[in-house]
Chains A and B, each alone.
Chain A
């Protein structure tokens, strides 16, 4: 009880002291204020940047999985590229073996010359895909129809183009029903899919003409094409399961021995995100380092002012001891004062930092427009300030507690 009441009284006393010496307190806690502002602003900017990047990732699809051939490092003498290649049989065997997958399509990507009327364009990206591609890629059909099973089964010479192609090949606004020549073969345009710009960060560049044809039709242009597969998992967190299922099936089909490395890759956007998160964590540690230095400097300021305070109030300490304050109570009083000072600085810092964050949010075009001070930065600020108060207030407080009351009352 006595301690609680004493604490409240001490805090009130300390706040009065701070209010009476506003400028002095402000200057004293400048280190703390700067430290806290740094934490809040940097953490918020980091958070905003992270959100920005994750949004970019999300455009690629969060639960998308890529399956592709990959030569293991330093194993070129053991595996030929022919062995490494994904075959359509292998891809077709994955779906029954991997219950975590929702959909899969092989993708054959070739570059061919495309002609529409008089317009000729070389090295146009032609993708041979199954109709399930529409379930995997988040690209809506804006005109006409999607690719269908019947196109696949009957190896129809139909295609989808993206809206960029309309412009580049001078096609009519609704190109459905017109034909284009791909590698000399006539293809009927049945629909248009939207163009999705991939951020330059991930190797995307200016949107270009794309043509999508049924996979089996593509096999007629290129009988044994180089393949990769894209798939989606039933949920983003199922990626690890899906990866293991795909790996087991592919290793079995490729008759790999247990000691052999994988001759293929299974990757998800998740992993890229994880790697990015590691970098982000590194940045966070760096921020914490900056902050601890600034709080150290701030702490020395606090210690200095508390030593001044103890020496200014020597007689008061003597009096308090004479009327019965135990040394531990005096210690507590000065410690609480130091902590209160630090926390007051912390609150000022938080206010300024929040103001900074609000400013960042006003710049809607910048990558930090979604800046938001994360909870941990606030906790870190308050916690570190309190710890600074305890650590740097301890020495002056001990000095006060050890004062001899007789000497203290004689002090001028």
Chain B
């Protein structure tokens, strides 16, 4: 189990008021899942994403990442977890404009203890994975929006994180490039990457295998999508059963039934 969250609470203090952003969330995500977290603003999805990304600490409850209790860690240890276990993709890319694509991708490796040597090679490999091996020396302002987001994805992947955490990754992109990024996520998922996407767009979420919906700090629903092959099989079987059910004559369908 990659992510194991149980009874997670997050309470903010705004002035004298207490805001309960998360109210007892339980969520398990296994390796190589592709999960979309959805919810309207104020539902707690951003708070949940921040805690998932170890940028924030829960007020109460447990969050184990690969079996390690992150809710007990200090700031320095969390930095390390972010560096080694989590790859972030942001809505507005967050690339350094004065650095080349390659240097941008290398950024997490600067702060890594283990992946020091051969950082350039790793960064080049990551750019190759997102299909930008011919744009390594370009600066972000020389790239299109979709290319920039792909650089950001390469940066998220460069340290081989256990989860790729994307916050509205297509929010600043047009529909065509959005499709490109989603296709890239699909490909990465097929290669074994665990992906968590936070979004409010239904069609983006529809490409995930599983949708977790939040409302008022609680999980409203958690179900597979049609993109999930298992679920699709289930649906197909259900549909088949439905058609078979149609095939089996019922009292209503019999000719000469009630008028």
Interface residues of A (CB under 8 A from B): 1-2, 5-6, 9, 16, 20, 315-316, 318-329, 405-406, 409
**Across the interface, do B111 and A329 meet the contact criterion of CB distance under 8 Å?**
yes
**Across the interface, do B98 and A20 meet the contact criterion of CB distance under 8 Å?**
yes
Q: In the complex, what residues of A have CB within 8 A of residue B96's CB?
A: 316, 319
Residues A327 and B116 in contact in the complex (CB < 8 Å), given A315-B94, A316-B96:
no
Give the residue of B50, B75, B79, B83 whose beta carbon is less than 8 angstroms from that of A406: B50
Residues A324 and B83 in contact in the complex (CB < 8 Å), given A1-B116, A9-B110, A405-B55:
yes
Give the residue of B55, B79, B88, B98 whose beta carbon is less than 8 angstroms from that of A325: B79
Give the residue of B90, B108, B111, B159 whose beta carbon is less than 8 angstroms from that of A326: B111
Question: Would you give the shortest CB distance from B103 to chain A, in whole angstroms?
Answer: 10
Give Cα A397 to B78, complex, Å: 20
Chain B 55-92 residues near chain A, CB threshold 8 A? 55-56, 75-76, 79-80, 82-84, 88, 90
Q: In the complex, what residues of A have CB within 8 A of residue B75's CB?
A: 326-327
B188 at the A/B interface (Cβ < 8 Å)? no
**Across the interface, do A324 and B116 meet the contact criterion of CB distance under 8 Å?**
no
Q: In the complex, what residues of B have CB within 8 A of residue A321's CB?
A: 55, 79, 82
Question: Would you give the shortest CB distance from A280 to chain B, in whole angstroms?
Answer: 50
Q: In the complex, what residues of A have CB within 8 A of residue B50's CB?
A: 406
B217 at the A/B interface (Cβ < 8 Å)? no
Q: In the complex, what residues of A have CB within 8 A of residue B159's CB?
A: 324
Residues A322 and B111 in contact in the complex (CB < 8 Å), given A316-B96, A406-B50, A409-B90:
no
**Across the interface, do A326 and B53 meet the contact criterion of CB distance under 8 Å?**
no
Q: In the complex, what residues of B have CB within 8 A of residue A405's CB?
A: 55
Question: Would you give the shortest CB distance from B11 to chain A, in whole angstroms?
Answer: 16
B43 at the A/B interface (Cβ < 8 Å)? no
From B55, B56, B80, B116, name the one whose CB has the most chain A CB atoms within 10 angstroms. Answer: B55
Q: In the complex, what residues of B have CB within 8 A of residue A6's CB?
A: 110
B112 at the A/B interface (Cβ < 8 Å)? yes
**Across the interface, do A322 and B113 meet the contact criterion of CB distance under 8 Å?**
no
B136 at the A/B interface (Cβ < 8 Å)? no
Give Cα A324 to B113, complex, Å: 10
**Across the interface, do A323 and B108 meet the contact criterion of CB distance under 8 Å?**
yes
B148 at the A/B interface (Cβ < 8 Å)? no
Give Cα A406 to B79, complex, Å: 13
Closest to A405 in B: B55
Chosen A-B contacts, 29 in total, with CB atoms closer than 8 Å, are A2-B113, A6-B110, A9-B110, A20-B98, A315-B94, A316-B96, A318-B94, A319-B96, A319-B107, A321-B55, A321-B79, A322-B53, A322-B55, A322-B88, A323-B88, A323-B107, A323-B111, A324-B79, A324-B80, A324-B83, A324-B111, A325-B79, A325-B111, A326-B79, A326-B111, A327-B75, A405-B55, A406-B50, A406-B56
Closest to B94 in A: A319
Give Cα A127 to B65, complex, Å: 103
Q: In the complex, what residues of A have CB within 8 A of residue B108's CB?
A: 323-324
Closest to A10 in B: B110
**Across the interface, do A323 and B116 meet the contact criterion of CB distance under 8 Å?**
no
**Across the interface, do A16 and B111 meet the contact criterion of CB distance under 8 Å?**
no
**Across the interface, do A16 and B94 meet the contact criterion of CB distance under 8 Å?**
no
Give Cα A16 to B98, complex, Å: 10
**Across the interface, do B116 and A2 meet the contact criterion of CB distance under 8 Å?**
yes
Give Cα A16 to B111, complex, Å: 20
Give Cα A322 to B108, complex, Å: 9
B209 at the A/B interface (Cβ < 8 Å)? no
Give Cα A341 to B101, complex, Å: 27
Question: Would you give the shortest CB distance from A25 to chain B, in whole angstroms?
Answer: 15
Question: Would you give the shortest CB distance from A395 to chain B, in whole angstroms?
Answer: 20
Return the 5 tightest CB-CB contacts between A and B, nearest first.
A324-B83, A323-B108, A326-B79, A324-B111, A319-B94
B45 at the A/B interface (Cβ < 8 Å)? no
**Across the interface, do B107 and A320 meet the contact criterion of CB distance under 8 Å?**
yes
Given contacts A326-B111, A327-B75, A409-B94, 18 further A-B contacts (CB under 8 A): A2-B113, A16-B98, A315-B94, A319-B90, A319-B94, A319-B96, A320-B111, A321-B79, A322-B82, A323-B83, A323-B155, A324-B83, A324-B84, A324-B108, A326-B75, A327-B79, A406-B55, A406-B56
Q: In the complex, what residues of B have CB within 8 A of residue A329's CB?
A: 111
Q: In the complex, what residues of B have CB within 8 A of residue A328's CB?
A: 76
Q: In the complex, what residues of A have CB within 8 A of residue B116's CB?
A: 1-2, 5
Q: In the complex, what residues of A have CB within 8 A of residue B83's CB?
A: 323-324
Q: In the complex, what residues of B have CB within 8 A of residue A316's CB?
A: 96
Give Cα A5 to B115, complex, Å: 13
Question: Would you give the shortest CB distance from B122 to chain A, in whole angstroms?
Answer: 14
Give Cα A409 to B110, complex, Å: 20
Question: Would you give the shortest CB distance from A2 to chain B, in whole angstroms?
Answer: 6
Q: In the complex, what residues of B have CB within 8 A of residue A1's CB?
A: 116
From A6, A16, A328, A406, name the one whose CB has the most chain B CB atoms within 10 angstroms. Answer: A406
Residues A327 and B111 in contact in the complex (CB < 8 Å), given A5-B116, A319-B94:
no
From A315, A318, A319, A327, name the one whose CB has the most chain B CB atoms within 10 angstroms. Answer: A319
Q: In the complex, what residues of B have CB within 8 A of residue A326's CB?
A: 75-76, 79-80, 111
Give Cα A6 to B110, complex, Å: 7
Q: In the complex, what residues of A have CB within 8 A of residue B98's CB?
A: 16, 20
Question: Would you give the shortest CB distance from B70 to chain A, in whole angstroms?
Answer: 14
Give Cα A326 to B112, complex, Å: 10
Closest to A322 in B: B88
Give Cα A324 to B53, complex, Å: 11
Chain B 182-213 residues near chain A, CB threshold 8 A? none
Give Cα A327 to B76, complex, Å: 7
Closest to B99 in A: A13
Q: In the complex, what residues of A have CB within 8 A of residue B84's CB?
A: 324
Give Cα A183 to B14, complex, Å: 110
From A5, A322, A326, name the one whose CB has the most chain B CB atoms within 10 angstroms. Answer: A322
Give Cα A129 to B175, complex, Å: 112
Give Cα A326 to B108, complex, Å: 11
Question: Would you give the shortest CB distance from B35 to chain A, in whole angstroms?
Answer: 20
Question: Would you give the shortest CB distance from B155 to chain A, in whole angstroms?
Answer: 7
Give Cα A321 to B86, complex, Å: 12
Give Cα A325 to B140, complex, Å: 22
